[in-house]
Structure 1
Amino acid sequence: MEPETPQPPPVALGTGAVARRLGVSPTTLRSWERRYAIGPARRDEGRHRRWTPGDIARLELMCRLTAQGAPPSEAARVARDAAPDTPSAAPPAAAHPGGPRALPLGDVRPECRGLARAAVRLDAPAVEDQLAAALAELGAVTAWEEVIAPTLHAVGRKWASAGERYVEVEHLLSWYVSAALHRIRPAPEPRTAPPVLLACAPGEQHSLPMEALAAALGERALPVRMFGAALPAEALSEAVRRTGPRAVVLWAQSRTTADTSLARAVAGIEWGPRGARGHSALLLAGPGWGGAATAPPARAERLFGLRSGLAVIESVVAPRAPGTVAGRAEPAAYGS
């Protein structure tokens, strides 16, 4: 009879890895350990916390209970009393994983689930930590498309299905997403290169997608001028004339703010000295521009998604071959 192969010891994780997995901040884990005695079973040399699968199971149970509204002290008591390595010690699974307050995420990255859990708990420090880690590790484009945007959409779906509930979750998450995007330091831009001008249509208050685009352009050292939400039409026209941008990206979230007459006016603006006039490529972004009623003018292009939109912008602002007209930026074709 062959001897049994010894099983390797369970892998123990550090506090930072556990925090990212659960969607809480490391400070929150240390606070729970200090206040409610729900800490790791072991420490390495130097007093570094190492969390075993049993420790993590207790924390997951505590997170589920607090997300359902239980006071942290009571949630910690239940989690401590649960058998350390027995999944059945947890309460019966809810209709939605994580409890009735959990966001409907589907098949997403673990970072997305962590951010969603933190947002539902209104745990601002954890939201900040999750966003900072995702942006640092993944970059603005992947973090936006695979972590931030799915979480924002899930909050919107939950809000739509729950009346006025969860508005506070959306507001908190949007605020900290905006702050995290603004903290991204852009790479040094060429001082003589024409910028890309980003603005929301008049009356349009949804600016987060444009803030993500500004961060992504900054990472690529592409000059950008961000004018934010609800820029008046006259101010937009003046900004185009003053900056002479290679491209103008105009965002509209809804059809009520997607003004085709404004788009035609911006597409027709010429700037520069007499004899060397130029015009900007007009790129229309956002779901508001969909449909025949808001069809783009002849000298405009639609953008679809952050990554594919960046590819279009980069093709527009790329150095031009000798013999082309300075300042002219014909909209690029794209298939996304």
Structure 2
Amino acid sequence: MPAAALSTGAVARRLGVSPTTVRSWERRYAIGPAHREDGRHRRWTPQDIARLELMCRLTAQGVPPAEAARTARGGAPGPAAARTEPPAAPADRSGGPGSGLPLGAVRPECRGLSRAAVRLDAPAVSDLLEAALADHGLVPAWEEVIAPTLHAVGRKWATAGERYVEVEHLLSWHVSAALHRIRPRPEPPHTPPVLLACVPGEQHSLPIEALTAALGERGVAARMFGAALPAEALHEAVRRTGPRAVVLWAQSRTTADRALARSVAGIEWGLRGARGHSALLLAGPGWASGTPLPRTERLHGLGQALAVIDPRAPAPAGSGGAGPGPFAYGS
């Protein structure tokens, strides 16, 4: 018996599924461990675990479990898989470690993505994100697949202490990487850009990364400054670029600096005698409280943000309206 062999419980935690699921796969699809300890306890070797990881990845992509098990075993159907498959057990919606994340009524791709993230299966997370973007387009993929999964990770982290922090970090990194791989169209020369930044102290930048990628797809000039841009640097960037609009993201009320927003809204740029102002667009749930600021507009979702910034472009199919959900993910 290899020293690295694991128990069923340890394997389930590693894969992000319940021990019951692992035992069910073993019973139904003959994908169990090659050895048992004293004929009683299951012990999974690295080779056994690799087969289960492949089965997890395939089922996350929508492959039926029986077919995924045959592929994981090497293509030869075993005696258990040849039997009539019993009815599937009800889905575990408890929100525990073996059930992925509490997603509710979502697209099937969300469940596959969440399970891949929970088991820290980076290749599967990357593949599923690329497939969602290719199949649905950026705006629907963000609003219907990516954002709900990110939001579920944030809720899970908030209710589970320090657990699942690694899941959020891995998923966020891969979402950011997928957004950065979207190539922008050439922007028209000599056009004022859209400036996008997080307010000082704000580290959650994924929603405006998505907006930046969507603007780039449409050939809208954009300048993205990322997380926690200092106030002085923000003022200087506005003066230097003379943007048509400034998008300020604040995830929480503690970072939503209304005095900063008022000062940015009052910045004038350009030659003396021909001064201009930028439209100030406030994005993120941090701006939700308080009275509306003068000379500003709230953004409530990716589709609505695109409609405000680039009204000439038709709203993409599946894009959201003014609901707060798609832009309000996270912890």
Question: How far off is 1:84 after superposition?
Answer: 4.3
**1:218 corresponds to:** 216
TM-score (norm 1): 0.70
Say yes or no: does 1:151 pair with 2:162: no
Q: 1:266 to 1:36 in 2, by over 3 A?
A: closer
Deviation at 1:296, TM superposition (A): 3.6
CA distance in 2 between partners of 1:198 and 1:54 (Å): 44
> How far did residue 56 of structure 1 move?
3.1
Q: Which of 139, 142, 146 is the matching residue for 2:140?
A: 142
Matched length? 263
TM-score with structure 2 setting the length: 0.71
**Alpha-carbon distance in structure 2 between the residues aligned to 1:103 and 1:175:** 18
The aligned counterpart of 2:293 is 297
Q: 1:99 to 1:230 in 2, by over 3 A?
A: closer
1:313 aligns with 2:309: yes
Alpha-carbon separation, structure 2, partners of 1:80 and 1:159: 40
Preserved CA contact (<8 Å) 2:268 2:275 = yes
Rounded to whole Å, the distance in 2 between the matches of 1:224 and 1:139 is: 20
CA contact (8 A) 1:39 1:55 kept: no
- The answer (yes or no) to whether the contact 2:93–2:102 under 8 Å persists in 1 is no
Q: 1:284 maps to which residue?
A: 282
Cα deviation 1:67-118 (Å, max 9, x = unaligned): xxxxxx9xx9xx9664446443767754548973411112211222221121
- 1:129/1:98 Cα in 2 relative to 1: closer, same or farther (>3 Å)? farther
Residue type at the aligned position of 1:116: S
Instruction: Tell me the alpha carbon deviations over residues 262-311 of structure 1, each in whole angstroms, 9 at most, x when there is no partner.
Output: 1010000010111111110000000000112xx34210011101111111
**Contact 1:199/1:249 (<8 A) preserved:** yes
Are residues 258 and 39 of structure 1, via their aligned partners in 2, closer, same or farther at CA, if it must alter by over 3 Å?
closer
C-alpha spacing 1:91/1:137, structure 2 compared with 1 (3 Å): closer
Maintained 8 Å contact 1:203/1:257: yes
**1:288/1:99 Cα in 2 relative to 1: closer, same or farther (>3 Å)?**
closer
Mapped contact 2:66–2:81 kept (Cα < 8 A)? no
Describe how 1:173-188 pairs up with structure 2 within 5 A: 173-188=171-186
Matching residue within 116, 119, 127 for 1:129: 127
Structure 2 distance, partners of 1:55, 1:164, is 36
**1:53–1:132 CA distance, 2 compared to 1 (3 A):** closer
8 Å contact 1:54–1:85 — kept in the other structure?
no
- Using the alignment, how far apart are the partners of 2:265 and 2:127 within structure 1? 41
Is the Cα contact below 8 Å between 1:54 and 1:84 reproduced in 2? no
2:230 aligns to what? 232
| Structure ranking higher on relative contact order (CA contacts 8 Å, 6+ apart) | 2
Cα offset, 1:161, TM superposition: 2.3
1:193-241 deviation per Cα after TM superposition (whole angstroms, max 9, x unaligned): 1100000000000000010000010011100000000001110000000
Moved more, 79-88 or 116-125: 79-88
Q: Which moved more, 1:95-104 or 1:277-286?
A: 95-104
Query: 1-side partners of 2:279 and 2:117: how far apart?
Result: 38
RMSD between aligned residues: 3.4
Instruction: Give yes or no for contact 2:92–2:99 (8 Å, CA) kept in 1.
Output: no
CA distance in 2, matches of 1:220, 1:172: 28
CA contact (8 A) 1:247 1:280 kept: yes
Aligned to 1:47: none
Q: Following superposition of structure 1 onto structure 2, how do residues 265-284 of structure 1 map, counting pairs within 5 Å?
A: 265-284=263-282
Q: Distance in 2 between matches of 1:108 and 1:221?
A: 31
Distance, in Å, in 1 between the alignment partners of 2:246 and 2:65 is 54
Structure 1: runs of 5 or more not aligned: 1-30, 41-50, 63-72, 319-333
Gaps of 5+ in 2: 1-45, 56-61, 314-320, 324-331
The whole-number CA distance in structure 2 between the counterparts of 1:103 and 1:86 is 30
Number of the residue aligned with 1:328: none
Shift in Å at residue 32 of structure 1?
8.2
Deviation at 1:255, TM superposition (A): 0.6
